[in-house]
Amino acid sequence: MDFLGKILGRRYEIVEQLGGGGMALVYRAHCNCLHREVTVKILRPQYTCDEDFVERFRREAQAVASLSHPNTVSVYDVGEEDGIHYIVMEYIEGNNLKEIIREQGRLTLPVAVDYARQICEGLDHAHEKGIVHRDIKPHNILVTKGGRVKVTDFGIAKAVTSDTVTQAGTIIGSVHYIAPEQAKGEPGGVRSDIYSVGVVLYEMVTGKLPFEGDSPIAMAMKHIQEEPPAPSCLNPEVSPELERVILRAMAKSPERRYQTAREMADDLRTVLSGQISDATRIIPLGDCPTMVLPTTEDLGMAAAKEKENKPTRKRRWILAAVTLLVLGLLAGGLLGIGSLFVKKEVPVPNLMGLTEDEARRELTKVNLVLVVLGRQYTDKQPADKIFSQNYDPNQLVKENREIGVMVSQGPKLYPVPSVKNKPLEEAKLIIAQSQMVLGEITEEYDEEIRAGNVVEQKPDPEVEKEKPQGTKIDLVVSKGPTPQYRPVPNVVGLSERDAIAALAAANLKMAKIGEVESDKYFAGVVISQDPPATAEQTIQEGSTVNVTVSKGPGPAAKDYVLRIELPEDGQPHQVKVIIYDAKDPQGRTNYEQQHQGGEKFDVPVKFYGSGKYEVYIDNQLAQNASV
Q: Verify whether residue 193 is a known catalytic residue.
A: no
Give the phi and the psi of residue 526 in degrees, each rounded to 5: -70, 130
The amino acid present at 523, given as its one-letter code, is A
Question: Exposed, middle or buried, 576 (CB in 10 Å: 0-12/13-18/19+)?
Answer: middle
CA distance 578 to 159: 77
Query: Measured between alpha carbons, how far is 368 from 514 in angstroms, rounded to an integer?
Result: 85
Angle at 257 between CA 254 and CA 258, to 5 degrees: 125
Give the alpha-carbon dihedral of 528, 530, 533, 535, to 10 degrees. 150
The H or E element spanning position 561 is strand 557-565
Q: Is the peptide bond before 572 cis (omega within 30 degrees of 0)?
A: no
Report angle CA 426, 427, 430 to the nearest 5 degrees: 90
Residue 424's closest CA among 463, 460, 476?
A: 476
Bridge partners of residue 122, in order along the sequence: none
Alpha-carbon span 369 to 360, nearest angstrom: 7
Whole-angstrom distance, CA of residue 59 vs CA of residue 234? 43
Shortest CA distance to 41 belongs to which of 108, 161, 185, 140? 140
Q: What are the C-alpha distances in Å from 21 to residues 43, 309, 420?
A: 10, 62, 56
Q: How far is CA 308 from the centre of its chain?
A: 73
- Would you say 541 and 507 are in contact if contact means Cβ atoms under 8 Å apart? yes
How far does CA 220 lie from the centroid of its chain? 30
Residue 615 to residue 621: CA distance in whole angstroms: 6
Nearest to 545 by CA among 497, 491, 493: 491
Strands (E), 348-412: 369-376, 386-389, 396-398, 402-408
Q: 428: buried, middle or exposed (CB in 10 Å: 19+, 13-18, 0-12)?
A: middle
* 366-399 as b/e: b if 16+ CB within 10 A: eebebeebeebebebbeeebbbbbbbeeeeebee
Which helix (H) or strand (E) is 543 found in, with range? none
Q: What's the one-letter identity of residue 490?
A: N
Q: Are 32 and 15 in contact (CB under 8 A)?
A: no
Query: Coil, strand, or helix at residue 314?
Result: helix
Burial of residue 417, with CB atoms counted within 10 A of its CB: 0-12 exposed, 13-18 middle, 19 or more buried: middle
Which amino acid, 184? Answer: K
User: Active-site residue among 2, 77, 124, 135?
Assistant: 135
Q: Please say whether the beta carbons of 58 and 85 come within 8 A.
A: yes
- Tell me which DSSP letter residue 161 carries: -
The total number of residues written for the chain in this structure: 627
Active-site positions read: 135
